[in-house]
Amino acid sequence: MTPRPRIIAVDGPAASGKGTLARRLARHFGFGYLDTGLLYRAVGLRVLRAGKDLGDEAAAVAAAEAVTAAELADPELRSGPTGNAASAVAKIPGVRQALFDLQRRFAAHPTDDRGRPLLGAVIDGRDIGTVICPDAPVKLFVNASLETRAKRRHKELLERGEAIIYARVLEDIERRDEQDRSRSVAPMAKAPDAFEIDTTGLDADGAFAAALAFIGSRLD
Ligand code: CDP
């Protein structure tokens, strides 16, 4: 029998704190880390930069097929408009299909950022516990109230230098959540065996402690 991959799947809605938690878990366990949201953001950004419509399926699929790990460090990926573009292209089945193999490969052979092999991986997104790694021994679903998430994202965007008002961020997040939850392919969902962490009243240390307590011996 092949050993179960040591995968920690972290899913949750926009600005729930899943990225912060996932990065911290990866560091703690010495695992690789893949932020799959960046892949969808990279596709959205490619479509925007090509001057194409976000609903142009052929353009979005071509962008998804062209995405490489090298472009995931582009700071523009973190912008508000890129987040919205990511959610728009993420509902296109061909886009998800094109990014599937890349994610599965990372799960099967996790590496550090220099390409050296590692024993496990933390992968965060919307469909990791349900579609990408349904056999992951640890699944977390990170959530927080809409207002808490909007406040966090607003602060992040202001720190990036974006001039955006809170009401607009709240509206964008609400629309994106709805779009991510209701799409027909791989909608954002909590896997039945996922452990939910509500970070509304938790700081990063609190969320990390809750995750570690759940993980316990599940990775042994
Ligand atoms: O950082 P934030 O939570 O705002 O979003 P993200 O994780 O960077 O993801 C951006 C968008 O990509 C989401 O709104 C989803 O539409 C899409 N996404 C997805 O469909 N599946 C994933 N595994 C990850 C992201």
**pTM for the full predicted model:** 0.95
Distance from the first to the final alpha carbon of the chain = 16
pLDDT 10s digits, 57-104: 999 999 999 999 889 999 999 999 999 999 999 999 999 999 999 999
Which amino acid would we find at residue 107? A
Give the pLDDT of residue 4: 57
What does the alpha-carbon distance between residue 142 and residue 61 come to, in Å, rounded to a whole number? 29
Ligand 1 probe mutation, 102, 126, 156, most atoms within 8 A of CB:
126
- Contact assessment for residue 5 and residue 107, using Cβ atoms and an 8 Å cutoff: yes
pLDDT 10s digits, 135-172: 999 999 999 999 999 999 999 999 999 999 999 999 99
pLDDT 10s digits, 93-116: 999 999 999 999 999 999 998 889
Q: How far is the CA of 1 from the centre of ligand 1 (A)?
A: 34
What does the alpha-carbon distance between residue 209 and residue 141 come to, in Å, rounded to a whole number? 15
Q: How far is the CA of 14 from the centre of ligand 1 (A)?
A: 7
Give the pLDDT of residue 5: 62
Give the pLDDT of residue 19: 96
- The first and second tokens of residue 206, run together, are 């609190």
Ligand 1 probe mutation, 7, 18, 23, 36, most atoms within 8 A of CB:
36
